């Protein structure tokens, strides 16, 4: 009896669903713990219907905005939070922190090799965008990961010096195959750094990391942390925004950069969509769990089809990114087109590699999302460079991710 390729892939998908049951249960345990953490803060803070509305103009004494920031500070266990719809992206939130704190003569130290692509120009690691940290006289130092992918503790000890002002740690792997960092390992790293420089500011880029584990970096010693609301903490509902959480004085410095020194966080109206920032944060643990279920399915499914996946389906996860080593440009393009064609929005779009601002190589992106560029919704992207690795993340429902992954596999089978 002849069965079609599509039928074969559907059968494989059913088998994979069975294989991943045990891991799915673990994901649900974490989701439950994080739901509890989030709900506790909503009830403690006394969120009311009255907070779910926007305001205008300067936004003086804006209770909606203040209450939302109270929730973020509570959930991330920090003294303060700056949470604004008008922070445009994760990069913007990170820029507020770096430019808010660093002064001429200070040094920024990255301890896991090169940071995420969009930070390269901002820092001035290569090339230097006008207004980069480098142009302002802030120096940059980097400790690469060891060849086995582990943290080079000795290298960090040697790199720390009296000018080191910020140590930059990234929770997620970004566009690299290096291991992403668990909160447990981050705790060890931060403790190590403090042994040599007690007063250095430990900053964590938490993009894609929120609610994947039961603890957040700010619970294990990070001074300041930033992320995007169109990733994990927006719960798939936030239409725009970013957050900064951490120590009072540091969040104030970031806020001064966001508006102006002297006014800081005191102004800034709540957008009319602020209800979605509240509702999205509340839904975020569920949303992150769906993304994780989808990532685990996709990893196992493509492993069964003979591809290397990072992380492997049964490895511990610290972010929502799933990498698949496809091995050629044409496979990357096919995969992305398969994802795009199975999207609820713009399913007829035809992704092509392009020179995206802020990235060094051509990049191809598939995203049929309700919120433009929201990578908590299912998206697949890849820099066009060796060894041709595809990165997939998000997915508001695990079933949608499964449908899209099967479609991508089907596309790979086409000539
Ligand atoms: C997404 C991301 C950023 C920032 O990206 P934006 O597209 O500007 O939101 C920074 N660092 C990491 C690790 C990321 O995943």
Phi, psi of 42 (to 5 degrees): -65, -45
Separation of alpha carbons 206 and 47, rounded Å: 25
Say how many Å lie between the CA of residue 24 and the centre of ligand 1.
26
pLDDT level of residue 67 (50, 70, 90 thresholds): very high
What percentage of residues in the chain have a pLDDT greater than 90? Answer: 93
For the residues 348-370, what does the mean pLDDT come to? Answer: 90
pLDDT number for residue 359: 74
Nearest to 83 by CA among 262, 212, 251: 251
Phi, psi of 68 (to 5 degrees): -65, -40
pLDDT over 70 (residue 295): yes
Cα four-point dihedral sign 363, 225, 93, 295: positive
pLDDT number for residue 360: 78
Distance of CA 225 to the CA centre of its chain: 12
pLDDT number for residue 339: 98
The atom of ligand 1 lying closest to the CA of 319 is 15
pLDDT level of residue 221 (50, 70, 90 thresholds): very high
Nearest to 206 by CA among 159, 175, 240, 242: 242
The model's pLDDT over 386-402, given as tens digits with 9 standing for 90+, comes to 999 999 999 999 999 99
- What mean pLDDT is reported for the chain? 96
Phi, psi of 103 (to 5 degrees): -125, 160
Say how many Å lie between the CA of residue 90 and the centre of ligand 1.
5
Here the tokens at position 169 are 């740690």
**Ligand 1 site, residue 174, Cβ cutoff 6 A:** yes
The atom of ligand 1 lying closest to the CA of 116 is 11
For the residues 256-275, what does the mean pLDDT come to? Answer: 97
The atom of ligand 1 lying closest to the CA of 92 is 8
pLDDT number for residue 354: 93
Say how many Å lie between the CA of residue 61 and the centre of ligand 1.
31
Please check whether residue 171 is in contact with residue 204, taking contact to mean a CB–CB distance below 8 angstroms: yes
Please give the angle made by the CA atoms of 405, 369 and 34, to the nearest 5 degrees.
80
What percentage of residues in the chain have a pLDDT greater than 70? Answer: 99
Cα four-point dihedral sign 402, 406, 409, 415: negative
For the residues 19-32, what does the mean pLDDT come to? Answer: 98
Please check whether residue 359 is in contact with residue 372, taking contact to mean a CB–CB distance below 8 angstroms: no
Nearest CA to ligand 1 atom 4: 90
For the residues 201-228, what does the mean pLDDT come to? Answer: 98
The atom of ligand 1 lying closest to the CA of 321 is 15
pLDDT level of residue 126 (50, 70, 90 thresholds): confident
pLDDT number for residue 366: 96
pLDDT number for residue 399: 97
**Ligand 1 site, residue 383, Cβ cutoff 6 A:** no
Cα four-point dihedral sign 289, 294, 299, 301: positive
Say how many Å lie between the CA of residue 330 and the centre of ligand 1.
26
For the residues 327-351, what does the mean pLDDT come to? Answer: 97
Neighbour count for residue 278 (Cβ, 10 Å): 20
pLDDT number for residue 1: 55
pLDDT over 60 (residue 326): yes
Say how many Å lie between the CA of residue 414 and the centre of ligand 1.
33
Across 167-205, b (16+ Cβ under 10 Å) vs e yields bbbbbbbbbbebbbbbbeebbebbeebeeebeebbbbbb
What residue has token string 């798939």?
Answer: 236
For the residues 135-142, what does the mean pLDDT come to? Answer: 97
DSSP 90-144: HHHHHHHHHHHH--TT-EEEESSSS--HHHHHHHTSSS--TT-TTTTT-EEEE-P
pLDDT level of residue 156 (50, 70, 90 thresholds): very high
Pocket probe mutation, ligand 1, options 91, 171, 186, 240, max atoms within 8 Å of Cβ: 91
Beta-carbon contacts of 207 under 8 Å, excluding residues fewer than 6 positions away, are 90, 116, 170, 171, 172, 226, 227, 228, 231
pLDDT number for residue 52: 98
**Ligand 1 site, residue 112, Cβ cutoff 6 A:** no
Beta-carbon contacts of 254 under 8 Å, excluding residues fewer than 6 positions away, are 82, 96, 97, 100, 101, 224, 226, 244
Say how many Å lie between the CA of residue 117 and the centre of ligand 1.
8
Most distant CA atoms of the chain, gap in Å: 76
Say how many Å lie between the CA of residue 294 and the centre of ligand 1.
20
């Amino acid at each position: 009896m002849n069965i079609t390729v599509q039928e074969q892939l559907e059968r494989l998908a059913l088998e994979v669903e069975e294989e991943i049951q045990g891991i799915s249960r673990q994901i649900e345990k974490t989701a439950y713990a994080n739901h509890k953490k989030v709900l506790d803060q909503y009830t403690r803070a006394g969120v009311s219907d009255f907070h779910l509305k926007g305001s205008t103009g300067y936004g003086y004494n804006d209770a909606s905005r203040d209450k939302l920031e109270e929730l973020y500070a509570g959930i991330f266990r920090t003294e303060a939070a700056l949470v604004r719809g008008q922070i445009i992206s994760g990069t913007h939130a990170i820029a507020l922190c770096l430019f808010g704190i660093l002064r001429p003569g200070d040094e920024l130290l990255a301890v896991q090799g090169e940071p995420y692509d969009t930070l390269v120009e901002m820092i001035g690691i290569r090339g230097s965008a006008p207004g980069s940290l480098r142009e302002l006289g802030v120096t940059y130092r980097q400790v690469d990961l060891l060849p086995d992918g582990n943290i080079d503790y000795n290298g960090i000890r040697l790199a720390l010096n009296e000018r080191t002002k910020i140590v930059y740690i990234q929770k997620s792997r970004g566009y690299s195959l290096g291991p992403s960092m668990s909160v447990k390992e981050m705790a060890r790293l931060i403790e190590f750094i403090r042994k040599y420089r007690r007063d250095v500011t430990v900053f964590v880029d938490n993009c894609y990391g929120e609610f994947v584990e039961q603890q957040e970096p700010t619970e294990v010693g990070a001074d300041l942390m930033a992320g995007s609301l169109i990733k994990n903490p927006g719960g798939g509902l936030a239409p725009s925004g970013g957050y900064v959480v951490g120590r009072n004085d540091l969040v104030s410095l970031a806020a001064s950069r966001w508006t102006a020194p002297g006014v800081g966080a005191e102004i800034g109206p709540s957008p009319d969509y602020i209800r979605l920032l509240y509702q999205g944060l509340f839904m975020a643990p569920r949303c992150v769990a769906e993304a994780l279920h989808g990532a685990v399915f996709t990893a196992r499914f493509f492993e069964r089809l003979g591809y290397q996946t990072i992380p492997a389906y049964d490895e511990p996860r610290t972010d929502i990114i799933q990498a698949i080593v496809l091995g050629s440009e044409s496979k990357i393009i096919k995969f992305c087109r398969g994802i795009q064609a199975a999207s609820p929005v713009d399913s007829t779009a035809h992704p092509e590699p392009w020179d995206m601002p802020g990235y060094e190589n051509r990049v191809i992106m598939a995203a049929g999302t309700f919120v433009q560029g929201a990578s908590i919704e299912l998206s697949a992207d890849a820099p066009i460079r060796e060894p041709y690795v595809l990165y997939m993340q998000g997915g508001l429902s695990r079933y949608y991710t499964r449908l899209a992954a099967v479609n991508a596999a089907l596309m790979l089978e086409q000539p």
